[in-house]
Structure 1
Amino acid sequence: MIGEHSSKQYDSDLETIRSKVLLMGGLVERQFQEAMNVFHNGNIAAGERVIKDDDQVNLLEVELDNACSHLIVRRQPTANDLRVVMATVKVITDLERVGDEAAKIARTAIHLHKRGIGSIDHSETVRVIATAAADLLHDALDALARLDEKQAIKLISDDAIIDRDFRSIMRNVITYMMEDPRTISASMDTLWVAKAIERIGDHAKNIAEFVIYIVEGKDIRHTDYAATHLDAGT
């Protein structure tokens, strides 16, 4: 009876943590979306709110890290249970970094629009990569909520598209600066925004990898696991 009670309490504690992780995911999704709106429309007040919202994300990171540490100490999970907790800690870190990148986008957008420069001629290209990264983040969180391994595998390969698009933006921006040196400052700011978006895609991919780690117990980081499984039709 003691073991059964302990197990039920562990499940309850873990579910509370999972719910707050998904809440944190929703917060950084919104933060990213609003930061991109600031980049496109120049709403400085909205940008300042995005930056301020990062404090809430940071507090959640600390709260959840502490909750996971206490869960390990109190319940002493082993095997699969410990794997879930460890993966959750890593997901929390990636979500906090998404919030950091969103705040960086907001700061850069404010800087651009305060100088009256705007996002020069790369706005639509940046919008495309931002939409792809936002979709990747949303779907990674959905895969985490449902522990959907198949969806997670597909998302890992999708990140390569974002990386490719970022390299294209970088080449175009460099060409733009060479042709008109007066655009160097605005072009560099736009490139920083694109890089922040690319990093958000990386963090979303990390979350998908941790879904696979939870489900299969395989650490697939720095491997071709996704490409192999997609080719095999799994």
Structure 2
Amino acid sequence: MDKKSITQHVSQQYNEELETILTKVMNMGGLVERQLSDALVALVEGDTQRGESVVTSDYLVNAAEVEVDEECTHVIARRQPAAIDLRLVLAVIKTITDLERIGDEAERIGRMALHLLDQDRQYGPMDEIQALGEHIKGMLHGALDAFARMDAEQAVRVAQEDIKADAQYDAIFRQLVSYMQEHPQAVPSVLDILWSARSLERIGDRSRNICEYIVYFVRGKDVRHTSFERMAQEATGDRR
């Protein structure tokens, strides 16, 4: 769907309001992408400066969510949107909620990374965690790109990447649990690594959520809690 077709109304001011909201969502997405990237570097490489940056800048993501949410509330109150306009506003509200929660997970990773000593990282499968993190970064970027273009078919492709992310996380989980059983003294440090991996997996879930909102906006179909096959069918079906 062409972004311009989303914001074509008789009222130029209404067009500008919707354009401003969409721009601010993408700016918020950019903030969250940087949070995730910095958190991953802090976790895997022990970069304390990156970890502190993630922790101290989380307020920017929170502020962005509040700002966009308020603008959506004003549009609903002033314009009383219906049909596709209402779906757009609802999709935006849901998306910024998930973006804020992704920021929270990134902050959590940053905090746990600061607790880890260099020798602690020998307990964890850091190469596998790096691979999971890169995959999750790709999912988030793909979800935001699909949102920017309101591309339902791309949204489905990105959402399906969550299957691989879950498999990667499960493998890391089994490896870390096995290590803790064999090395009880390492449990505190390994748990921080495990919870960080869990936060990465949750970011993948949130990225999938954003993809579901895109399908909802474009096709008017709620594909939450459905199979990937059903999601794909709704994304490529005729609009009703």
CA contact (8 A) 1:39 1:119 kept: no
Unaligned residue ranges in structure 2 (runs of 5+): 1-7
* Contact preservation (8 Å) 2:146, 2:155: yes
Choose from 9, 24, 28 the match for 2:28.
24
Aligned match of 2:198 in 195, 199, 202? 195
CA distance in 2, matches of 1:229, 1:93: 21
The amino acid of 2:199's aligned partner reads: A
CA–CA distance in 2 between the matches of 1:124 and 1:33? 15
Q: How does 1:41-190 map to 2 (within 5 A)?
A: 41-113=45-117, 116-118=119-121, 120-190=123-193
* Alignment-mate amino acid for residue 57 of structure 2: D
User: Which residue identity lines up with residue 76 of structure 2 in the other structure?
Assistant: I
Match of 2:218 among 211, 215, 222: 215
Contact 1:48 1:106 in 2 (8 A): yes
Distance in structure 1 (CA, Å) of the matches to 2:177 and 2:59: 34
Please provide the CA RMSD for this pair.
Answer: 2.0
Counterpart position of 1:12: 16
Residue identity opposite 2:229 in structure 1: A
Q: When the two structures are superposed, what TM-score results if normalisation uses the length of structure 1?
A: 0.92
Partner of 2:43: 39
Describe the SS at the equivalent of 1:223: coil
Letter in 2 for 1:166: Y
Task: Check whether the contact 1:119–1:190 (CA below 8 A) recurs between aligned residues.
Answer: no
CA contact (8 A) 2:25 2:68 kept: yes
Give identity over the alignment, percent: 43
Structure 2 Cα separation of the partners of residues 231 and 58 of structure 1:
35
- Within 1, Cα distance between the matches of 2:74 and 2:210? 22
CA positional deviation for 1:163? 1.1
The Cα of 1:121 is off from its aligned counterpart by 3.4
Aligned residues: 229
Kept in 1, the 8 Å contact 2:219–2:234? The answer is no
Change (3 A) 1:17 1:133: same
* 2:124–2:176 Cα contact (<8 Å) kept: no
Deviates further, 23-32 or 38-47? 38-47
Per-residue displacement from partner, 1:137-187 (whole Å, max 9, x unpaired)?
Answer: 000000000111111111121111111211111111100111111221121
- What SS does the aligned partner of 2:226 have? coil
2:207 to 204, 209, 214: 204
From the superposition, tell whether residues 172 and 75 of structure 1 become closer, same or farther in structure 2 (CA, over 3 Å): same
Aligned partners of 1:5, 1:12: CA distance in 2, in Å?
10
